Amino acid sequence: MKRFVIKANDANQRVDRFLEKLAPLLPNSLAQKYIRLKRVKVNGKAVKRDYRLTVGDALELYINDEFFDRPNEDNAYLAITSPRVDALYEDENILLALKPPGMLSHPADGEYVSTLITHIQAYLLAKNEWFPGGSETFRPALCNRIDRNTGGIVIAAKNAEALRIVCDKIREREIEKYYLAAVRGKLIPESGRLEGFIFKDAKLNRVYVREQSTAGAKSAVTEYETLAVSGNLTLLECRLITGRTHQIRAQFAAAGFPLLGDGKYGAAPQKPDNSGERYQALYSYKLRFAFKSSAGILGYLNGKTFEAPFDKIEFVTRYFGEFNNQKTDSGDIN
């Protein structure tokens, strides 16, 4: 039990609002439940959530200590009672989650709660598949990440062995990654391969495409195939042969076919993209497990392909609706 005596600076607040500030990791829904269950008392008596605190009130809280910590990367999952996880596939070892555009994969810049991994940890905790403190070194983790403003499939590992195997297979390029991209213009030929070298400017978080290798640059290869054309927009399937930062965005912009909604690579310097789109039209929609060597406990995944439904991808539905309907009707989506 924790006890607080209300002073002048804390007076005249509703007890539930004060509780939000006092216990930042306590979800609001759980706080309201605790108030109803009389685990929040003032001067020894149960109160309603709209009770206004006065100077001298003795606030007694029968709430676990961990809820009073400040949010950080290790405890942010505690603040989530209704995890948002769109699971494409799940078993005892891995989870394939569809990350919505706009959500961070990992905590960054002081943002801890509204991230994919935090929601996955809260989701597995709610399912009793993960017990914080059950291991000193492991917690559910992402094996890959995608940019905040890109949506699509992210692989999460539920145990340390799965995490090691998937990370090894990604590094050895034994997991094939396919993206959908809407670009401006019509590509000729309709399918092909973009090759070059990418140099990353870490300070600007921007990459530059070069035809020739330069110091610090890495090779970048993307295969593409045209799936549909709508006006001046082309829907492409892009297969990453290499996985460089902003590879698809930078390569297609350099080739003269910038992604719809891409204000960084698709517009002139210092000018935003004028499409009105909030995010670049890019989605990691398909994974294929193509193991060339033993995959241990994940061997059962070899040869399997997982594909997000096209109707979950906003820019496909918005600009290529007829193609989307054809795919759905034909049953081509896994």
pLDDT 10s digits, 107-124: 888 888 889 999 999 999
Q: What is the pLDDT of residue 321?
A: 84
Q: Which of 41, 68, 95 is at the close of a domain?
A: 68
- pLDDT exceeds cutoff 50 at 43: yes
Same domain, 209 and 156: no
Q: What is the pLDDT of residue 331?
A: 44
d(CA 146, CA 246): 9
- Mean pLDDT for 238-242 is 97
Same domain, 180 and 166: no
Same domain, 247 and 280: yes
Residue 330's nearest CA partner among 206, 227, 255 is 227
Q: What is the pLDDT of residue 131?
A: 87
Q: Find the range with the poorest average confidence among 18-27, 178-187, 216-225, 229-238.
A: 18-27
- Mean pLDDT for 172-196 is 97
Q: Encode pLDDT of 150-179 as tens digits.
A: 999 999 999 999 999 999 999 999 999 999
Q: State percent of the chain over pLDDT 90.
A: 76
- pLDDT exceeds cutoff 90 at 305: yes
Provide the pLDDT confidence category of residue 332 given band limits of 50, 70 and 90.
very low
| Range among 56-70, 107-121, 195-209, 294-308 rated most confident | 294-308
Q: State percent of the chain over pLDDT 70.
A: 93
CATH number at residue 56: 3.10.290.10
Same domain, 162 and 179: no
Same domain, 210 and 307: yes
Residues 6 or more apart whose Cβ sits within 8 Å of residue 318: none
- pLDDT exceeds cutoff 50 at 317: yes
Q: Which of 114, 141, 171 is at the close of a domain?
A: 171
Q: What is the pLDDT of residue 108?
A: 85
Q: What is the pLDDT of residue 190?
A: 97
Q: What is the pLDDT of residue 136?
A: 64
Q: Which structural domain, as residue segments, surrounds residue 296?
A: 175-330
d(CA 167, CA 165): 6
Give per-residue burial for 46-59: e unless 16+ CB within 10 Å, then b: ebeeebebeeebeb
- Structural contact between residues 180 and 205, judged by C-beta atoms closer than 8 angstroms: no
Q: Which of 171, 206, 223 is at the close of a domain?
A: 171
| 184 strand-pairing partners | 233
How many independent structural domains does the chain possess?
3
Same domain, 211 and 238: yes
Same domain, 109 and 187: no
Provide the pLDDT confidence category of residue 333 given band limits of 50, 70 and 90.
very low
Q: What is the pLDDT of residue 269?
A: 54
Provide the pLDDT confidence category of residue 135 given band limits of 50, 70 and 90.
low
Same domain, 8 and 147: no
d(CA 171, CA 80): 32
Distances (CA, A) of 155 to 141, 247, 310: 9, 19, 19
- pLDDT exceeds cutoff 50 at 272: yes
Helix axes 28-36 and 15-22, enclosed angle (nearest 10): 130
Q: Find the range with the poorest average confidence among 27-36, 173-182, 222-231.
A: 27-36
